[in-house]
Structure 1
Amino acid sequence: MIKTEHKHKMEDWLPTSAKEVERRGWDSIDVILFTGDAYIDHPAFGAAVVGRMLEAHGLKVAIVPQPNWRDDLRDFKKLGQPNYFFGVTAGAMDSMVNHYTANRRLRSDDAYTPDGRAGQRPDYASVVYCNILKELYPDVPVLLGGIEASLRRVTHYDYWSDKLRPSILADSKADLLVYGMGEQPLLEIIRLIERGVPIESLKTIPQTAFVIPKEKSLPKNRNWKDLPLFSHEECLSDKTKYAKNFRHVEEESNRWQAARLTQDAGEHTIVINPPYPPMTTGELDASFDLPYTRLPHPRYIAKGPIPAFEMIKFSVNMHRGCFGGCSFCTISAHQGKFIASRSEESILKEVDAISQMPDFKGYLSDLGGPSANMYKMEGKNLKICQRCTRPSCIHPNICTNLDTNHSAMTRLYKAVNERPNIKKAFIGSGVRYDMLYNNMASNEEKESHRAYMQELIEHHVSGRLKVAPEHTSDQVLKIMRKPSFKLFHKFKADFDRINNSKKLNQQIIPYFISSHPGSEEMDMANLACETHDMDFKLEQVQDFTPTPMTVATVIYYSGIHPYTLEETYTPRSKNEKLQQRMYLFWYKKEYQEKIKDRLKSFKRFDMIKKLFPEKDNKSEKQSHKGRKSNFKKKKPSYKSKHRRTT
């Protein structure tokens, strides 16, 4: 197959300026979208997906990327007012996560901006954009969506202001909030608007939220049960009530037939309609098959590359959703726990499109999804899934109703590698290795696990395979909703065996988190010792950052686990967090003396000996020679007080 040069016209992108609107001969615009990201016309970016979907429905759509909120607001005025509504999103990330580190330090870059420049969007971008639009155009409806809005739809803890904030609807003054992946509710909204129904009357569309006066009755819907949450004011005065609320929010977000949630805040009631069922393969294909250019808008040609685009431009997303339910992760809260998978035909069509890009060298950077190996997975009996309230299908054990057969993925991997112009398709998404050791699986499933592992490791690793054990302590892993570290040992043994048999020089790159709720300093010391024994010098690590709508964030703020209501330790102070984090880098000289001092304070000389070679501890041995007999006598008490290394 011969590659062809892309010859795009400006009209191939959605318009971003009055001049581009004029080129199209439009005298008005139906929907204007405001986004905190640069405009990249690609299915990995929400504003592009929404814009293309509305365009396919026959609407005239324009996008205003990264509007300037600090000048005379000309970016908010330049396209006038739309016929239907303004759409607002902070972008592909929560704007506060985008701006600040886990230590609340301002980041110096922004991956969703040309040349990685920082400062192109405000803090709490959703609220800022909505308030400006409501001030300028008070009579034009504003619809709010995206991950920032989705995860802040009820009372939530905001780490950056260190306080509980009410639903983002209260601060933003938006008329309607679309949470989760927006295609299904937006199509219904447009269908009803075109029938003449005003937006203020759209109160029974699934997967939307809105505000009504507290004294007003709820809109009628015979199919929905109502579940009132503790009010925002009750959450402010009682952390346990805030924790209890979260369990309801998480369970109803992941149910096939969920309840409608209500929460009073001040003089108003926040109403959150239940979500749509998972998208069908046909619906998801329709979204991914829209006529994207797959490129940044030409306005950025002279402004430098956009790091987020460079990272994904040769990757393919095969599915949405994640049933892992990790305590620190927001994927299932936004995309849902049920997997929506594309067809093989749609995926191969996108692979072929990528292979025709002028700078494509034959290597796909990722063939995956939120988790690499959940494609096509669902319950064996969907009626059981429809009644299920479990937040995770694989923790504390793999559900016996979950079909963990990996055959569809293995076939697809092979099909992609056989496409013209594809030299290799790598798996860059994280692999859930615990599913490959499902003891309750059928013989057919177990065989598919072995075949998948062989195919993955032999043909789809770019030298380094990402996996995320996250911790080594079973106690912490239980809170994280992650499997025992013993399974990581098992996976690494299989990884090494396959590499050795094929004479491949490949590495596993494990991800770990420090300062997670439940993690004590000795847990991190144990992590250092265990990974030291496995010859890992950790690179891919992060300090826990509380983000709205996760179990871990609820624990961080309240000190209470929302499911057990038990008090749970969480490192909160800067000093505690730094002490935990340094154990991840035991091999760096700048941390070694600090680590030794901390381990001495715990009288864990065994750990010092394990982490640092004998030659580094000669003076150590001399200084403790006189206390040797006392140390031996006290040794049993350490075992009861602190968990030992494995």
Structure 2
Amino acid sequence: MFLPIDKEDLEKKNIEQVDFVLVTGDAYVDHSSFGTAVIGRVLERYGYTVAILAQPEYKNCEDFKRFGKPRLAFLIGSGNIDSMVNHYSVSKKRRQKDAYTSGGKMGKRPDRAVIIYAQKAKEAYKDVPIIIGGIEASLRRLSHYDYWDNKVRKSILLDSKADLLLYGMSEKSIIEVAEALDSGIDVKYLSFIRGTTFKTKDLSSVYDGIMLPSFEEVSTDKTRYAQSFVIQSNNTDAFTAKPIIEDYGTQGYVVQNPPAMPLTTQELDDIHDLPFMNLPHPIYKEEIAAIKEVQFSISSNRGCFGSCSFCAITFHQGRIVQGRSRSSMVKEATNMTTHQDFKGYIHDVGGPTANFTTGPCDKSNTKGTCNHKKCLFPHPCKNLEINHTEYMKTLRTIRKIKGIKKVFIRSGIRYDYLLKDKNSSEILKEICEHHISGQLRIAPEHISDNTLKYMGKPSKDVYEKFVKTFETQNNKIGKEQYIVPYFMSSHPGSTLDDAIELALYLKKINYIPQQVQDFYPTPSTLSTCIYYTEMDPYSFEPVYVAKTSEEKAMQRALLQYNKKQNYDLVYKALKKAGRTELIEFLIPQKYKGR
């Protein structure tokens, strides 16, 4: 049974007043990959009544009165994606489709959805607590560079005028908040819960906090912004983080409490065992594209110690990997075989990184991850414990379940981690034999070591070693299969020479990517910090950043140098870089003889 989405549903359940109204910018999909559904089901499990206000009309506050006045709070999120990323491409052009909306229709949520929804909820019921969360709030919990405004914005807690912000994966935090509110504690006194950010004018309740540079400083001084970023980065681990405080002058302070403790395997299993319908609500008559890949996929873990510079997972889920038990995933796979739409194919068994199933070392499980170094970059840590045994056992067990034809791995393999396993050849052989179908998608992101160091990715040599190992194992099993690499253009640190190096590599291997992802500066990543400040925040050394539309276009065009529409840009790039000897080599079709 779905969670209520209208007054009629409440009446069917004999609910006179709902405890929480969950507001989301997505259509309501009752699946464990959708944060609104997870929080709703967790609250329901603990005895609280919940209603889902999905994609409300936001030009007035009437829709926010649909369920009447919630007894405890409005819980507000933008959906599974930041609303600005959802709406705009990296070139800041309006997207044509919304994968999280029925029929892909745009316009069902506003720009800066969390702020707008919070305002409308407050208009509807001035005395009901407003609690914000989800990815948009989580990554904007402190001052942050905003690509769309091209400036540093304040904490979204202040801009939304919400009472409390929950960041990260909030299953534990939301229950503590619910129990506190239910016991009669005013929301303004909820300053003690892990995984929350609150505002105050009195720091007497903050113990052992670290003062960040003030908002005035970070919004006017890029060096101070970089310093603030490093302090924040060093306080993302649940075991070692301290409260961090940001001064907003007359508006008081924003305080981030340490992250919620990571879930145990049993706790993560319990969440995936909640009674999700694994479908969009039947009110939607057209397809919701976002459910397609996850409906028959199995989430095996959360958190990631890969720490790619352009990825926000460190700030949102943290570096401590939390994995599910094999029995839990086998149970989910077995249940899938009874679904009317299941065709025998499980699209993925993975998470942020498929082949991370536990923390990087024993220390991380009890004392946290190191805040002064990364587990895999620039080289794998000597204390890294690499073991794929449990993951491979899970894959073997699932693929033997009656009714399952194939189990794919699509969420990405961290190949430098795999290569460090003493059994890497055998593991890759098994993956090639059973878990891909012609192509393996991986993300080297670039080929220039200069760019890769800013990305936090392994060197070109490591990638090429993996490619050779992949080819060797396919030869052994007699299969003709290919690696499909993802590459990114214009990442901070990538020069025109680096882009040319990548183009030459693509020419060498006779591969042109169908799609190229321009670097997208999303809130709270290391790469975005470098993009804004044009410096390495750890060393303060200057970093080249392609910011003009022309240079970004040239770097992108070099990755697809053989396309006719790119000839002029490739020619201009080669001339600008002083590499005119490459014109006939890369684009002879038009420029031969010039």
What TM-score do you get using the length of structure 2 for normalisation?
A: 0.97
Number of corresponding residues: 593
State the partner residue of 1:6.
none
State the partner residue of 1:257.
240
1:239 and 2:213 are equivalent in the alignment: no
State the partner residue of 2:44.
55
Q: 1:93-104 maps to which residues of 2 (within 5 A)?
A: 93-104=81-92
State the partner residue of 1:560.
535
1:157 and 2:141 are equivalent in the alignment: no
| Residue 397 (structure 1) shift | 1.5
Deviates most, 269-278 or 38-47 = 269-278
Letter in 1 for 2:9: E
Q: 1:8-27 maps to which residues of 2 (within 5 A)?
A: 12-27=1-16
State the partner residue of 1:592.
567
Deviations along 1:304-355, one digit per CA (max 9) or x if unpaired, are 1000011211111100011111111111211111100011111111111111
| Residue 479 (structure 1) shift | 0.7
Q: Is the 8 A contact 1:322 1:371 kept in 2?
A: yes
Find the partner of 1:79 among 56, 67, 85. Answer: 67
Separation in 2, partners of 1:616, 1:147 = 46
Q: Is the 8 A contact 1:337 1:391 kept in 2?
A: no
Q: Is the 8 A contact 1:99 1:123 kept in 2?
A: yes
Separation in 2, partners of 1:273, 1:577 = 38
State the partner residue of 1:45.
34
Q: Is the 8 A contact 2:31 2:37 kept in 1?
A: yes
Q: Is the 8 A contact 1:328 1:553 kept in 2?
A: yes
Assess, with a 3 A threshold, how the Cα gap between structure 1 residues 255 and 63 changes in structure 2: closer, same or farther.
Answer: closer
Q: 1:420-499 maps to which residues of 2 (within 5 A)?
A: 420-438=402-420, 445-447=421-423, 449-499=424-474
Q: 1:322-333 maps to which residues of 2 (within 5 A)?
A: 322-333=304-315
Separation in 2, partners of 1:550, 1:84 = 33
Find the partner of 1:219 among 205, 210, 221. Answer: 205
Separation in 1, partners of 2:537, 2:336 = 44
Classify the secondary structure of the residue corresponding to 1:386. Answer: coil
**Structure 1 unpaired stretches of 5+:** 1-11, 439-444, 621-646
Deviates most, 263-272 or 496-505 = 496-505
Find the partner of 2:490 among 515, 536, 552. Answer: 515
State the partner residue of 1:349.
331
1:33 and 2:22 are equivalent in the alignment: yes
Separation in 1, partners of 2:119, 2:396 = 50
Separation in 2, partners of 1:34, 1:597 = 49
Q: Is the 8 A contact 2:265 2:322 kept in 1?
A: yes
State the partner residue of 1:115.
103
Separation in 1, partners of 2:44, 2:236 = 29
Letter in 1 for 2:569: K
State the partner residue of 1:313.
295
| Residue 503 (structure 1) shift | 2.4
Q: Is the 8 A contact 1:379 1:385 kept in 2?
A: no
Assess, with a 3 A threshold, how the Cα gap between structure 1 residues 373 and 387 changes in structure 2: closer, same or farther.
Answer: closer
Q: Is the 8 A contact 1:380 1:401 kept in 2?
A: no
| Residue 405 (structure 1) shift | 0.8
| Residue 602 (structure 1) shift | 3.2
State the partner residue of 1:532.
507
Separation in 2, partners of 1:391, 1:278 = 20
Separation in 1, partners of 2:237, 2:492 = 23
State the partner residue of 2:523.
548
Separation in 1, partners of 2:139, 2:483 = 32
Separation in 2, partners of 1:95, 1:513 = 22
| Residue 391 (structure 1) shift | 5.9
Deviates most, 387-396 or 568-577 = 387-396
Task: Tell me the C-alpha RMSD between the 2 structures.
Answer: 1.6
Deviates most, 237-246 or 394-403 = 394-403
1:361 and 2:335 are equivalent in the alignment: no
- Asked which structure has the greater CA Rg, the reply is 1
Q: 1:628-639 maps to which residues of 2 (within 5 A)?
A: none
1:91 and 2:79 are equivalent in the alignment: yes
Classify the secondary structure of the residue corresponding to 2:290. Answer: helix
Letter in 2 for 1:218: S
Q: Is the 8 A contact 1:46 1:92 kept in 2?
A: yes
| Residue 363 (structure 1) shift | 0.5
Deviations along 1:238-286, one digit per CA (max 9) or x if unpaired, are 1110110001111101352211000011321001001122211011111
1:196 and 2:172 are equivalent in the alignment: no
Separation in 1, partners of 2:322, 2:162 = 29
Identity of aligned residues (%): 42
1:608 and 2:583 are equivalent in the alignment: yes
Deviates most, 394-403 or 357-366 = 394-403
1:292 and 2:292 are equivalent in the alignment: no
Separation in 2, partners of 1:520, 1:84 = 53
| Residue 287 (structure 1) shift | 1.0
State the partner residue of 1:644.
none
Letter in 2 for 1:554: C
| Residue 182 (structure 1) shift | 0.5
Classify the secondary structure of the residue corresponding to 1:381. Answer: helix
Letter in 2 for 1:27: E
Q: Is the 8 A contact 2:237 2:369 kept in 1?
A: no
Deviations along 1:11-54, one digit per CA (max 9) or x if unpaired, are x0000001111111111101110000000000000000000000
Q: Is the 8 A contact 1:377 1:404 kept in 2?
A: no
Deviates most, 33-42 or 489-498 = 489-498
Q: Is the 8 A contact 2:449 2:459 kept in 1?
A: yes
Separation in 2, partners of 1:383, 1:141 = 35
Deviations along 1:43-78, one digit per CA (max 9) or x if unpaired, are 0000000000000001111000000112x4321111
Q: Is the 8 A contact 2:305 2:360 kept in 1?
A: no
| Residue 506 (structure 1) shift | 1.9
